[in-house]
A and B are shown apart, each in its own frame.
Chain A
Amino acid sequence: ETGVTQTPRHLVMGMTNKKSLKCEQHLGHNAMYWYKQSAKKPLELMFVYNFKEQTENNSVPSRFSPECPNSSHLFLHLHTLQPEDSALYLCASSLGAGLAGVGETQYFGPGTRLLVL
């Protein structure tokens, strides 16, 4: 495997279900990100992890719960979601998050297409 991988690629869940999205990066990076992409809207940052520590939560509802056990893996635990949470969820990684004076390129995975019924 190379780059950033995400599983599952597609997920359909009911509002009472609990599911998890998985992301793995094979780039030796130290920062990982979750983004949400809704139709006709810009990518929206959800969470940032730098060296396994959460450094940003962009006012995300508590029904989304991230977990970063190490610098290579990132999870997004989902529970009691709403239909408006249906979107493409993208994971990304970069060398670091916040290296002084450097604009850090983020590399994205293929995404998980989530449908909440």
Chain B
Amino acid sequence: EDQVTQSPEALRLQEGESSSLNCSYTVSGLRGLFWYRQDPGKGPEFLFTLYSAGEEKEKERLKATLTKKESFLHITAPKPEDSATYLCAVQASYNQGGKLIFGQGTELSVKP
């Protein structure tokens, strides 16, 4: 069964304290792994798409990496405005319907 697990469930950081969020997945062939940011009461905001192991993408203080079993979202010197829930999702290669399988998210809180 395809599955996505994110850890930790919640993470509290001080401003400037770098850390990483983990997304472990099991899927029968990976077409893509997606990271989203979601603020309370809003829809998910797209961050990154990764397609193959070894791929990395960066945006401001965020860097996403991908291996054959997991993805990491590295946050360097975070600021309070980075506080949000970060969602990871995968799309399986056998699935021709565009279905995304989501993890439960990591709630990040950055204190000044």
Q: Show the binding face of A for B, using Cβ within 8 Å.
A: 4, 6, 31, 33, 40-45, 48, 50, 55-56, 58, 88, 90, 92, 94, 96-98, 100-111, 113
Closest to A108 in B: B43
Chain A residues lying within 8 Å of B91, measured Cβ to Cβ, are 103-104
A108 touching B45 by the CB < 8 A rule? yes
Cβ-defined partner of A109 (8 Å) among B43, B51, B99, B101: B43
Chain B residues lying within 8 Å of A103, measured Cβ to Cβ, are 30-34, 49, 51, 91
Q: Is B16 an interface residue (CB 8 A)?
A: no
A97-B97 CB under 8 A given contacts A103-B51, A104-B91 = yes
B43 touching A106 by the CB < 8 A rule? no
Closest to A10 in B: B41
Chain A residues lying within 8 Å of B101, measured Cβ to Cβ, are 42
A109 to B104, CA, bound (A): 19
> B78-112: contact bitstring with A at CB < 8 Å (1 yes, 0 no)?
00000000010101000111111111110000000
A97-B102 CB under 8 A given contacts A103-B32, A110-B42, A111-B42 = no
A98 touching B96 by the CB < 8 A rule? yes
B97 touching A102 by the CB < 8 A rule? no
Chain A residues lying within 8 Å of B102, measured Cβ to Cβ, are 42-44
A51 to B95, CA, bound (A): 17
B100 touching A41 by the CB < 8 A rule? no
> B34-49: contact bitstring with A at CB < 8 Å (1 yes, 0 no)?
1010000111111001
A104-B97 CB under 8 A given contacts A42-B102, A42-B103, A113-B41 = no
A94-B98 CB under 8 A given contacts A103-B32, A103-B91, A105-B34 = yes
In the assembled complex, the CB of B101 is this many whole angstroms from the nearest CB of chain A, namely 8
Chain A residues lying within 8 Å of B89, measured Cβ to Cβ, are 43
A50-B97 CB under 8 A given contacts A43-B87, A104-B32, A113-B41 = yes
Chain B residues lying within 8 Å of A106, measured Cβ to Cβ, are 34, 46, 98, 100
Chain B residues lying within 8 Å of A100, measured Cβ to Cβ, are 96
A107 touching B46 by the CB < 8 A rule? yes
